Each structure stands twice: as C-alpha cells, then as structure tokens.
Amino acid sequence: MTQENEQEERKVSPPREAGDAHGDDQVDGVDVAFLEPHIQEQLGRVLRSFCDDLIQQPIPDKFVVLLAQLEAKQREKK
C-alpha cells in the first residue's frame, strides 16, 4: 500500500482502539455499532410503550375522510 493510499484509508476509517467502548465492528464491510444488552432492553421497552400508546390513539378525522374519498373513487372505477 502506498503512502497516499494509507492516508486516504485513514480519512475513510479512522483507527480504533482495542476494546473500543462503543463496540464498533464491521459486518460485510459496513461499520456497525452494537449496544450493550441492558441498553437494548431499555430501548425495546421505551419503543414498545410508545407503539402501544400510538396504536390506542383514534384515527384523526382528516385521515378518515381521506380514506372514505379513496374508497369512493375505487368503487367508481369498478
């Protein structure tokens, strides 16, 4: 590898320390970051709670009207 290629490589992927706290790794040549299990579990709980709350919300009237208009147009085509 030439010196110019080495400099370019450092720009693209900076060197990492052994035991990097972020847990960065590569999968199929793509940099990925892994989270600690307790952080994954906490994120899962928060996202699940958010999604559960969102599902319980009523559909806004504007969307109901738009869906009715779309269904009416589809019936006209038949």
Q: For the full predicted model, state whether its pTM sits above 0.75.
A: no
Task: Name residue 72's beta-bridge partners.
Answer: none
pLDDT at residue 68 tops 70: yes
> Sorting pLDDT into bands at 50, 70 and 90, what band is 2?
low
DSSP type of residue 42: H
E strands along the chain, which residues? 24-27, 30-33
Domain ranges of the chain: 23-77
Which residues, at least 6 apart from 36, have a Cβ–Cβ distance to it below 8 Å?
A: 23
Measure the CA–CA gap between 55 and 77, rounded to whole angstroms.
32
For tokens 């958010």, what's the residue?
A: 50
At 6-27, the pLDDT tens digits run 555 444 444 444 444 445 577 7
At 30-67, the pLDDT tens digits run 888 788 999 999 999 999 999 999 999 999 999 999 99
